[in-house]
Structure 1
């Protein structure tokens, strides 16, 4: 890997029902089955947090490049889905994007531009289904 800007590190132990902690201790959570009522997080929730933050940053960068003054909120819904092709599992994502300060058409254009630029979107492209739901508010 060339031109690395920074690297984040986290270590998981015990898999999906274990524990994960970042090297700086800021992320330090117990993991539980997402369908359970127990207190804790799960890999899908952590992925949703990262994707929503990354995507919203990309959205605001695209808006600033087009000289659009916006306020935005991105909520990522990450679902664990039964994969019928191999009896395993896969992920699906819905990005609910609220954009204040533009028309619906502009919101859709910015959402698509951000999806083209966002590192999480690039990493998942062609691997999982990602649905964009931009809404001008």
Structure 2
């Protein structure tokens, strides 16, 4: 298989440092969240992961409906990703993810089927499967 896309981001200084993509489009300061003893005056890795997962999952929903009768358009999908960090019980840490998906223009059963299928194709879902607890909730508008 050939790689469809790749990117490189450098992190300097850990959680209280900076991240910058090699193309310069991403250039952010990082800070610890207040709950972890930080000032919370900049973004953190969990927010960046949540943003990436939410955007990617939303696009997976759009992607899997492209060849279906009821297509989901960009404005029809809203994904709120909540990323948490917890102790893994052996001195390290683990992430948790909750994806709250809202889809407009379809009934509940259809929305749930679309989200289940999207969860199979989303690269973030595939990367986290069996590694991170991911909870899905689906509602329609």
**TM-score by structure 1 length?**
0.93
Q: Is 1:64 matched with 2:63? A: no
Task: Give the Cα separation in 2 of the matches to 1:81 and 1:111.
Answer: 26
Task: Give the Cα separation in 1 of the matches to 2:67 and 2:126.
Answer: 19
2:86 corresponds, among 81, 86, 89, to 81
Task: Give the Cα separation in 2 of the matches to 1:112 and 1:37.
Answer: 38
Listed one character per residue, the Cα deviations across residues 81-100 of structure 1 (whole Å, up to 9, x for unaligned) are 1212x121100000010000
Listed one character per residue, the Cα deviations across residues 52-105 of structure 1 (whole Å, up to 9, x for unaligned) are 111100001112232213311111111111212x12110000001000010111
Aligned-residue RMSD, C-alpha: 1.2
Structure 1 residues 1-137: aligned runs within 5 Å = 2-35=1-34, 36-70=38-72, 71-84=76-89, 86-137=90-141
**TM-score by structure 2 length?**
0.90
- Contact 1:92–1:129 at 8 Å: present in 2 too? yes
Task: Give the Cα separation in 1 of the matches to 2:93 and 2:137.
Answer: 24
Which blocks of at least 5 consecutive residues in structure 1 are unaligned?
none
3-state SS of paired residue (2:65): helix
3-state SS of paired residue (2:40): coil
